[in-house]
Amino acid sequence: MGMEKEKNNPVITVQHVSKRFGDHQILEEVSMHVHHHEIVCVLGISGSGKTTLFNLISGMLEPEKGKIVSDSKIGYMMQKDLLMPWKTVIENIALPLLLQGEDKKSAYDRVSKHLTRFGLSGKENVYPNVLSGGMRQRAALLRTYMQSGEVLLLDEPFSSVDAITRHQLHRWLLGIFSDLTLSILLITHDIEEALLLADRIYVLAGTPARITEEICLADPRTGRFEGLTSEDSNRARERIYALLEGELKKKED
């Protein structure tokens, strides 16, 4: 599915990780990596263990077997924006910095430098309830960015917004990805979202879940939206559908 470009050392490495809850084995022998300035998608049907994998990478859970290696500070954005309704936008975004002991003026100054890029200029002193769904997601993403060292875990961050807003957020995310030199690991069950955003796609399937395939997309930095109809994308799409449709059939049986 195209040639994987040379990258620096991985910012996240998952090595033969397994996880169970009681008698239920969730993940088994999962291995994957994310390189510097790369978008990687973990794609799977609902209940396939994607969020458990992210909780392990973020350190919220410990693996039963295997190890996770990262020298980077990781920011984790969950599906819901989790903005505190009693705090203003800037208070919400600056919260990770304040919790780390940074003084209020310094934290607010750092956040303010990014408000325009994140489409939040003029909204810093309002409360989350007046924001659109897209603005709430951008505020949550900026808070995650302020928390991290430019390595982001995004757990289906656009699933709560309508299709048009999601399309706009995709374009916006690709823009800031280049501007801020981010490294992103993204969970999704949306095949088109994965094809649009990813340099590489890991398909997570099975019971317990394993990485069943790694798909590298050719020339992912050139014309991503136009590239959705390319021969390379069509081959990847067909392969992913075949893998996931097989997974759904197993569950139905």
Statement to judge: residues 79 and 64 lie in one domain:
no
Residue 110 and residue 42 share a domain: no
The pLDDT value given to residue 1: 43
Looking at residue 75, what DSSP letter applies? E
Within a 10 A sphere around the Cβ of 38, how many other Cβ atoms? 23
Q: Does some domain include residue 166?
A: no
Co-location of 216 and 199 in the same domain: yes
Domain that holds residue 127: 75-148
Task: Give the end of a domain, one of 148, 167, 195.
Answer: 148
CATH classification of the domain holding 214: 3.40.50.300
Q: How many CA atoms lie within 13 A of 32 on its CB side?
A: 29
Cα–Cα nearest to 48, from 191, 203, 215:
203
In this structure, the number of other CB atoms found within 10 A of the CB of residue 81 comes to: 21
> Does 178 fall in a domain?
no
Strands 10-21 and 24-35: antiparallel
Two tokens at 78?
């969950």
Clarify whether residues 69 and 187 are in a common domain.
yes
What is the number of domains present in the chain? 2
Q: Has residue 177 been placed in a domain?
A: no
User: Is 155 strand, coil or helix?
Assistant: strand
Answer whether residue 43 is part of any domain. Answer: yes
Q: At which of 94, 121, 148 does a domain end? A: 148
In a domain, 165, yes or no: no
Q: What is the mean pLDDT of the chain?
A: 85
Same domain? 68 vs 79:
no
* Full DSSP string of 17-52: EEEEETTEEEEEEEEEEEETT-EEEEE--TTSSHHH
Q: Is residue 219 located within the same domain as residue 236?
A: yes
Tell me what pLDDT residue 237 has.
Answer: 87
Same domain assignment for residues 245 and 197: yes
Predicted pLDDT at 224: 62
In a domain, 87, yes or no: yes
pLDDT tens digits along 157-202 = 888 788 888 888 888 888 888 788 889 999 988 888 888 889 899 9
88 and 46 co-located in one domain: no
Q: Residue 58 domain-assigned?
A: yes
- Binned at pLDDT 50, 70 and 90, residue 49 comes out as confident
**Between vectors from CA 165 to CA 163 and to CA 171, what angle results, nearest 5°?**
105
Same domain (yes/no): 67, 4 = yes
pLDDT at 28 over 90: yes
With respect to residue 172, please indicate whether it lies within any of the assigned structural domains.
no
Whether 33 and 56 share a structural domain: yes
* Whether residue 61 sits in one domain with residue 2: yes
